[in-house]
């Protein structure tokens, strides 16, 4: 399975607004260089308040390009960098399950840790965004569509146009859960 990076973003401060970059550098075990969420332990403010010693399973946020298309068709026209922290925006690619390794560009490798659990701050970017990234399946279970989270296994530079290669873990596979 392969895909491509569409855009990369980061922010040095805890803000919902990002800026697209020409390139980002991933640092093994830490995340995106010069990003507010870079670190081995949690950096998300609500998680730090609960337990600052938790491992940072949200070093990199990846969003599939189809989500932007879906949101646009619902009238939510968002700039890719507006709501995606430390995010390679990817073309169509199946990156599940937990533990899948994504090879980004020439040398970077991230390991999928789980689903992004969207929060109400998304409605500050665009009213209705939080609801637009949540759905229910046929059994009534919540479906989170706000992308996946990963940790950096091997560092390297990532830029728009870089290839993504998926390496699935040995089975049995574990379904993604919110992290």
CA separation for the pair 65, 80 (Å, rounded): 9
How far is 149 from 146, CA to CA, in rounded Å?
10
- Rounded distance, CA 10 to CA 87, Å? 7
Q: Are 12 and 21 in contact (CB under 8 A)?
A: no
Give the tokens for residue 99: 């533990």
Q: What is the pLDDT of residue 19?
A: 81
| pLDDT at res. 81 | 47
Q: What is the DSSP letter of 126?
A: S
* pLDDT tens over the chain, length 179 residues: 778 888 898 989 887 767 889 999 999 999 999 999 999 999 988 889 999 999 999 999 888 878 878 888 888 877 654 444 445 555 555 557 899 999 999 999 999 999 998 888 888 878 888 999 999 999 999 999 888 999 999 999 999 999 999 899 998 888 889 99
Task: Give the architecture (CATH level 2) of 2-167.
Answer: Beta Barrel (2.40)
Q: What is the pTM of this model?
A: 0.88
Element (H, E) at 40: none
- Measured in whole angstroms, the distance separating CA 138 from the mean position of its chain's CA atoms is 25
Closest C-alpha to 80, from 168, 131, 19, 26: 19
Ordered by start, the domain boundaries in the chain are 2-167
What six digits make up the tokens of 98? 């937990």
């Amino acid at each position: 399975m392969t895909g491509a990076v569409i855009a990369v973003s980061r922010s040095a401060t805890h803000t919902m607004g990002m800026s697209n970059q020409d390139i980002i550098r991933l640092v093994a075990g830490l995340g995106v260089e010069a990003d507010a969420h870079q670190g081995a332990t949690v950096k998300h403010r609500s998680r730090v308040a609960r337990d600052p010693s938790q491992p940072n399973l949200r070093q990199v946020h990846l969003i599939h390009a189809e989500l932007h298309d879906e949101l646009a068709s619902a009238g939510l026209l968002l700039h890719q960098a507006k709501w995606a922290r430390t995010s390679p925006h990817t073309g169509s690619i199946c990156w599940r399950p937990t533990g899948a390794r994504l090879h980004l560009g020439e040398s970077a490798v991230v390991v999928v840790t789980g689903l992004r659990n969207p929060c109400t701050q998304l409605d500050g970017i665009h009213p209705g965004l939080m609801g637009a990234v949540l759905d229910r399946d046929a059994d009534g279970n919540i479906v989170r569509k706000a992308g996946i989270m990963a940790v950096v296994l091997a560092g390297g530079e990532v830029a728009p146009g870089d290839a993504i290669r998926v390496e699935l873990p040995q089975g049995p596979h574990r379904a993604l859960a919110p992290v």
